[in-house]
């Protein structure tokens, strides 16, 4: 089966526009303190999410050994150690929730130029909230 030339051209075009920058030097020069265009807002909201995700991962890394130590202390007392397994279960459920929620919010503007901003802003907001939840858990243990 042979594809028509227009199909091949469309696939080639989509491949070119769908490929993200490969190197940090390809990062757009956008002033996120004063975004002027929708493109700027899209770039800045993506950066905001990436920053929030780094903070979440750092908090996760800090919490895991605390929870593991808690479970070890429970085991030493002959009790059931379930904090680490419960934490992992809750994190997986939270990721599913976050992704579904942000997909839903983005769907309200799907196809529009502001869709990336809506999606990334949702991801950043929910990620920051989860980071605070993990901090509270760490303090509780």
Report all structural domains of the chain as residue ranges with CATH numbers, in order of start. Answer: 28-140 (1.20.1270.180)
Q: What pTM did the predictor assign? A: 0.76
Tell me if 26 sits within 8 A of 19, measured CB to CB.
no
Mean pLDDT of the chain: 86
At 69 the pLDDT is 93
Q: What is the pLDDT of residue 11?
A: 47
CA–CA separation, 133 and 8 (whole Å)? 49
Instruction: Tell me how far apart the alpha carbons of residues 27 and 17 are, in angstroms, rounded to a whole number.
Output: 15
Distance CA 40, CA 31 (A): 8
The alpha carbons of the chain give a radius of gyration, in whole angstroms, of 21
pLDDT digits (tens, 9 = 90+) for 2-12: 555 554 444 44
User: Taking 80 as the threshold, does the pLDDT of residue 19 lie above it?
Assistant: no
Question: What's the rounded mean pLDDT across residues 60-64?
Answer: 96
| pLDDT beyond 70 at 20 | no
C-alpha dihedral sign at 133, 135, 140, 141: positive
Is residue 134 classed exposed, middle or buried when 0-12, 13-18 and 19+ CB atoms within 10 A define those classes? buried
Residue positions counted in the chain = 141
Regarding predicted confidence, which is higher, 16 or 94?
94
Residue 71 has pLDDT above 60, yes or no: yes
């Amino acid at each position: 089966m042979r594809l028509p030339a227009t199909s091949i051209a469309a696939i080639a075009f989509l491949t070119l526009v769908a490929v993200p920058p490969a190197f940090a030097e390809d990062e757009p020069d956008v002033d996120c303190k004063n975004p002027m265009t929708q493109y700027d807002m899209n770039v800045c909201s993506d950066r905001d999410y990436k920053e929030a995700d780094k903070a979440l991962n750092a908090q996760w890394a800090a919490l895991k050994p605390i929870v593991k130590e808690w479970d070890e202390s429970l085991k030493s007392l002959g009790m059931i150690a379930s904090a680490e397994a419960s934490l992992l279960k809750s994190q997986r459920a939270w990721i599913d929730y976050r992704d579904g929620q942000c997909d839903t919010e983005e769907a309200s503007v799907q196809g529009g130029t502001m869709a990336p901003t809506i999606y990334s802003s949702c991801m950043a907001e929910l990620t920051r909230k989860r980071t605070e939840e993990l901090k509270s858990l760490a303090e509780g243990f």
